[in-house]
Chain A
Amino acid sequence: MKQLAKRTLRWRSITESRLFFPTVALLLVLLFDFIFIPGFFTIENRDGNLYGSLIDILRNGSTVSLLAIGMTLVIATGGVDLSVGAVMAIAASVAGILMNPSALRNEVFFVTDPTYTFQPLWVVIGAALFVALLCGLWNGVLVAYMKIQPMVATLVLMTAGRGIAQLITNGLRVQITYRPFAYIGQGWFILPFSLYIVAFVLLATWLLTRKTAIGMFIESVGINFRSSYFSGIQESKVKLLAYAFCGFCAGIAGLVACSNVKTSDANNIGLFIELDAILAVVIGGTSMAGGRFSLVASVIGGLVMQAVTQSMYAIGVPAFALQAIKSVVVIIVILLFSEQVKGLMLRVGAGKKEA
């Protein structure tokens, strides 16, 4: 009897964990892959580096995971940032033009020398991230101080951002050949280098939010901003920080993305990815109304999004149909984990243990 109670308790504490449902969602997608895609779980070891479909999910999912980390904070304040895709493009353009400024002279210049760069790497990365941070601050000022609705405020940069990115590169696609920069998105150190970036950003963000008061303030503002204000929390500053940080994360994601395709393509980098990032956060269990958040759950949510994409490619869904299929899968995942269905699963789980 006692043991049964203990097991029920353990089941409950597992199912009530914020990580439970996103993890189940990820496992379900992987189960699908296991059944329908032969060799999906094969991992090759080439010269000490690991390759395979699973690794690809992690690697290709790093951009959306990075975005999801920043987006989590914004959504937790009760807002949303639609501009992250555009901010990625801006950061990529800044980085691209600083390595290969030929576009400014209005010529498509194919640099073939992998050691050539116009500016040193730290300037390239620093400038790109700084511009991304400015974009985030812009969103934050509009939302927190101008009191514009987050969706409208960030829509401004979402639509204008790609234009800005084009202006930076003079409307041309910029080739990136500088090898040290390529390492960001393509490098491999046992695991893809971008994974270490995600892990680092995740850890740093976790420390920033949970080892300071910022995480609690973000949640408090997202749950009830009036109570927060009466308790002395400066709502505007909290929101400004969240949007600025989200822009910064989008900047990192933009660097990873353009390094991966060796091109600063203002039209295509991060196109529609804001929706994936928002869905990742939602799958991670953060309410769109704001409040409690879990960074790890959001990153798992990002991997769910990527795993779905990857699986669809693997079973031969054509690229043009991908968005449609993906939306169906996402709806299923979100429905599965709605409060109603969650309650049902909890009851079933508890019942099973008692039987």
Chain B
Amino acid sequence: MSATNDYILTMEGICKAFPGVQALDDVDFSLKKGEIHCLVGENGAGKSTLIKVLTGVERPDAGQIILDGEEIHPRSPQHSQTLGISTVYQEVNLCTNLSVAENILIGREPWKFGRIDWSATNVQAANLLKRLLDIDIDVTKPLDTYTVAIQQMVAIARALDIASTKILILDEPTSSLDVNETQQLFKVMRKLRAEGVGIIFITHFMSQVYEISDRITVLRNGKLVGAFETTSLPRVELIAKMIGRSLNELDDMSSIKLESSKHIKDEAILDAQKVGHAGTIRPFDLQLRAGEVVGLAGLLGSGRTETARVLFGVDKPDTGHIEFDGATVTDHSPLGSIKRGIALCPEDRKAEGIVDDLTVRENIVLAIQANKGWFSHIGAQEQYEIANRYIEMLNIATPTADQPVKNLSGGNQQKVILARWLATHPQVLILDEPTRGIDVGTKAEIQKLVLELADEGMACLFISSELEEVLRTSHRIAVLREREKVAEFSGEVDEHVIMHTIAGSEL
């Protein structure tokens, strides 16, 4: 309102802790009227927590939020909406079987003679879409007859119509859109910006950040890295800020890595040829050799995890084929992969890794037991032997092997998952973000272990959002960008080059 202050929103000193992790640590954020502001950062940087604090899903432990010159305390998404903060999520949360008009005006339909006036509803919805977003569609058709982009715009229209929106939050709206649809969305965003709405835009696609945004706020590990004018921040510097690595720092490759590189076999044990999966990863070639660590670098959403899933058989490839030890793989499933000797430590430890109510021992023997089948039961004594061997080898901090794994810290849970896979004696080990969310000491331990395993003849695929650790552990690095493998580097790699490849910018 006041002309002296063109910031519509300021958040100051926001702190939020969850058990065991400081999700936000003294974070400031500000948004101007009529601005498109990108919020960027890798997984766990605190973007979504910041949005949750702003939309009232979570209460901050400390800090204040000032909207339009007044301090606010959002209690719930509904409350924040009445304050003028609207959010459109990645997944469209509308009723796809209802018509567009119903979706926009649900609960607020015009009434006539004690019943809903459908013709008025349709006219009102059509006008709304035309006026707010300048799109012209048949609002009587069910929502699911339209593309995801249109569905998202309907969600935006609904959000804008419910309250006089001062701030619109778009949480990864483009992740499932194609190029044209994204442009359609951008057109709407520019129109809203011209009308003075402040837009917070979250995306993992760097090209979109530079195409649409006015300013960028970077978060890393729950801390504010800074807010920057988009035009004054080169792409490669933004990447460096996101992954926390300045271009000048260079690491020596450890001696163990040099040593192990001598034992790399020439033959590929796992050979993916033109392997792709629609919607997640474009066809790529990738060879893994015994004794070699291959790093997979790229930003979040670049297709790192998707690559791992296809190789492990969680997703069946639609194109190309995978050869293992010279034979073409036909049985694409985790069990099939385990039987061949492939292991995957998944990225999402809680959802896809640990079985939290089972004990450390049971978690460790799970995969070998699955491989052996139902009736070749591993006896209690052997189970304890295996579990204790890996507890010792990996330094898992647990009172006994009978502790439920949920009582362990994140780093130790990660080690339990690692133990599960090492116990299967795999020939190929795929590690997807094995060091995420664990302390520095454990990180170093795991990195060292990976090199040692390679030295013993294992083929490793090491996926990490931290370029530093990819560089430190890998003999060869494949770079992914926007769901496509774009380059592969081996030997002495210049970090600079990789960063530019990740960013997709010229040197």
Query: Which residues on A are within 8 Å of B, measured CB to CB?
Result: 211-214, 216-217, 219-220, 223-224, 226-234, 291-292
Question: When A223-B355, A223-B356 are in contact, do A230 and B373 touch as well, CB less than 8 Å?
Answer: no
Give per-residue flags for B360-378: 1 if the beta carbon is below 8 A from chain A beta carbons, else 0.
0010001101111111111
Q: Are B372's CB and A213's CB within 8 A?
A: yes
Nearest to B366 among chain A residues (CB) is A231
Q: When A and B form their complex, what is the total count of cross-chain residue pairs whose Cβ atoms lie within 8 Å?
A: 76
Q: Are A213's CB and B378's CB within 8 A?
A: yes
Q: How far, in angstroms, from A230 to B351 measured CA to CA in the complex? A: 10
Q: How far, in angstroms, from A233 to B374 measured CA to CA in the complex? A: 10
Q: Are A292's CB and B357's CB within 8 A?
A: yes
Q: Describe B's contact surface by its main secondary structure.
A: helix
**In-complex Cβ contact of A223 among B344, B357, B367, B375 (8 A):** B357
- In chain B, positions 331-381 with a C-beta closer than 8 Å to chain A are 334-335, 337-339, 344, 346, 351-358, 362, 366-367, 369-378
Q: Are A232's CB and B354's CB within 8 A?
A: no
21 A-B pairs whose Cβ atoms sit less than 8 Å apart in the complex: A213-B369, A213-B377, A217-B374, A219-B355, A219-B357, A220-B366, A223-B357, A223-B358, A224-B351, A227-B352, A227-B353, A229-B314, A230-B334, A231-B338, A231-B420, A232-B334, A232-B337, A232-B371, A233-B335, A233-B370, A234-B335
Interface pairs A-B: 3 shortest CB-CB: A232-B370, A232-B335, A232-B338
Q: How far, in angstroms, from A231 to B362 measured CA to CA in the complex? A: 12
Q: Which residues of A contact B371 (CB under 8 A)?
A: 232
Q: Which residues of B contact A229 (CB under 8 A)?
A: 314, 334
Query: Which residues on B are within 8 Å of A, measured CB to CB?
Result: 312, 314, 334-335, 337-339, 344, 346, 351-358, 362, 366-367, 369-378, 420
Smallest beta-carbon distance A17→chain B, Å: 14
Smallest beta-carbon distance B310→chain A, Å: 14
Q: Are B335's CB and A227's CB within 8 A?
A: no
Q: Which residues of A contact B353 (CB under 8 A)?
A: 227, 230
Q: How far, in angstroms, from A18 to B338 measured CA to CA in the complex? A: 34
**In-complex Cβ contact of A216 among B314, B366, B376 (8 A):** B366
Q: Which residues of B contact A219 (CB under 8 A)?
A: 355, 357-358
Nearest to B375 among chain A residues (CB) is A212
Nearest to A290 among chain B residues (CB) is B357
Q: Are A217's CB and B355's CB within 8 A?
A: no
Q: Which residues of A contact B354 (CB under 8 A)?
A: 224, 227
Q: Are B357's CB and A291's CB within 8 A?
A: yes
Q: Are A224's CB and B356's CB within 8 A?
A: yes
Q: Are A230's CB and B358's CB within 8 A?
A: no
Q: Are B357's CB and A227's CB within 8 A?
A: no
Beyond A219-B358, A227-B355, A292-B357, 9 extra complex contacts between A and B, CB < 8 Å: A212-B375, A216-B358, A216-B362, A217-B369, A220-B355, A220-B366, A223-B356, A227-B351, A228-B355
Q: Are A226's CB and B377's CB within 8 A?
A: no
Q: Which residues of A contact B337 (CB under 8 A)?
A: 232
Q: How far, in angstroms, from A227 to B375 measured CA to CA in the complex? A: 21
Q: How far, in angstroms, from A292 to B362 measured CA to CA in the complex? A: 12
Q: Are A212's CB and B351's CB within 8 A?
A: no
Q: Which residues of A contact B314 (CB under 8 A)?
A: 229-230
Smallest beta-carbon distance B402→chain A, Å: 12
Q: Are B420's CB and A213's CB within 8 A?
A: no
Smallest beta-carbon distance B389→chain A, Å: 19
Smallest beta-carbon distance A208→chain B, Å: 10
Q: Are B375's CB and A213's CB within 8 A?
A: yes
Nearest to A237 among chain B residues (CB) is B374
Nearest to A229 among chain B residues (CB) is B334
Q: Which residues of B contact A217 (CB under 8 A)?
A: 369-370, 374
Q: Which residues of B contact A233 (CB under 8 A)?
A: 335, 366, 370
Q: How far, in angstroms, from A212 to B370 measured CA to CA in the complex? A: 11
Smallest beta-carbon distance A231→chain B, Å: 5
Q: Which residues of B contact A211 (CB under 8 A)?
A: 377
Q: Which residues of B contact A212 (CB under 8 A)?
A: 374-375, 377
Q: Are A226's CB and B351's CB within 8 A?
A: yes
Smallest beta-carbon distance A237→chain B, Å: 8
Nearest to A233 among chain B residues (CB) is B370
Q: How far, in angstroms, from A223 to B377 measured CA to CA in the complex? A: 20
Q: Which residues of B contact A220 (CB under 8 A)?
A: 355, 358, 362, 366
Nearest to B349 among chain A residues (CB) is A227
Most buried by B among A211, A216, A219, A224: A216
Q: How far, in angstroms, from A217 to B355 measured CA to CA in the complex? A: 11
Smallest beta-carbon distance A229→chain B, Å: 6
Most buried by B among A212, A214, A230: A230
Q: Which residues of B contact A216 (CB under 8 A)?
A: 358, 362, 366, 369
Question: When A212-B375, A213-B369 are in contact, do A230 and B355 touch as well, CB less than 8 Å?
Answer: no
Q: Which residues of B contact A224 (CB under 8 A)?
A: 351, 354-356
Q: Which residues of B contact A231 (CB under 8 A)?
A: 334, 338, 355, 366-367, 370, 420
Nearest to B309 among chain A residues (CB) is A230
Question: When A220-B366, A231-B334, A232-B367 are in contact, do A213 and B355 touch as well, CB less than 8 Å?
Answer: no
Q: How far, in angstroms, from A227 to B358 measured CA to CA in the complex? A: 12
Q: Which residues of A contact B378 (CB under 8 A)?
A: 213
Q: Which residues of A contact B370 (CB under 8 A)?
A: 213, 217, 231-234
Q: How far, in angstroms, from A220 to B346 measured CA to CA in the complex? A: 17
**In-complex Cβ contact of B346 among A230, A232, A292 (8 A):** A230
Smallest beta-carbon distance A321→chain B, Å: 39
Q: Which residues of B contact A223 (CB under 8 A)?
A: 355-358
Smallest beta-carbon distance A4→chain B, Å: 21
Q: How far, in angstroms, from A291 to B373 measured CA to CA in the complex? A: 20
Q: How far, in angstroms, from A109 to B464 measured CA to CA in the complex? A: 77
Q: How far, in angstroms, from A205 to B393 measured CA to CA in the complex? A: 36
Q: How far, in angstroms, from A223 to B355 measured CA to CA in the complex? A: 6
Q: How far, in angstroms, from A179 to B353 measured CA to CA in the complex? A: 56
Q: Which residues of B contact A292 (CB under 8 A)?
A: 357
Most buried by B among A224, A231, A232: A231
Q: Which residues of A contact B334 (CB under 8 A)?
A: 229-232
Q: Which residues of A contact B367 (CB under 8 A)?
A: 231-232
Q: How far, in angstroms, from A292 to B357 measured CA to CA in the complex? A: 7
Nearest to B314 among chain A residues (CB) is A230
Q: How far, in angstroms, from A291 to B362 measured CA to CA in the complex? A: 13
Nearest to B338 among chain A residues (CB) is A232
Q: How far, in angstroms, from A212 to B380 measured CA to CA in the complex? A: 11
Smallest beta-carbon distance B77→chain A, Å: 26
Smallest beta-carbon distance B232→chain A, Å: 44
Smallest beta-carbon distance A349→chain B, Å: 21
Most buried by A among B335, B339, B378: B335
Q: How far, in angstroms, from A292 to B359 measured CA to CA in the complex? A: 11
Q: Which residues of B contact A226 (CB under 8 A)?
A: 351-352
Q: Which residues of A contact B356 (CB under 8 A)?
A: 223-224
Nearest to B404 among chain A residues (CB) is A292
Q: How far, in angstroms, from A211 to B377 measured CA to CA in the complex? A: 7
Q: Which residues of B contact A232 (CB under 8 A)?
A: 334-335, 337-339, 367, 370-371
Q: How far, in angstroms, from A225 to B362 measured CA to CA in the complex? A: 15
Q: How far, in angstroms, from A238 to B301 measured CA to CA in the complex? A: 33
Nearest to B312 among chain A residues (CB) is A230
Q: Which residues of A contact B369 (CB under 8 A)?
A: 213, 216-217
Smallest beta-carbon distance B248→chain A, Å: 40
Q: How far, in angstroms, from A233 to B337 measured CA to CA in the complex? A: 12
Most buried by A among B339, B352, B373: B352
Q: Which residues of A contact B312 (CB under 8 A)?
A: 230
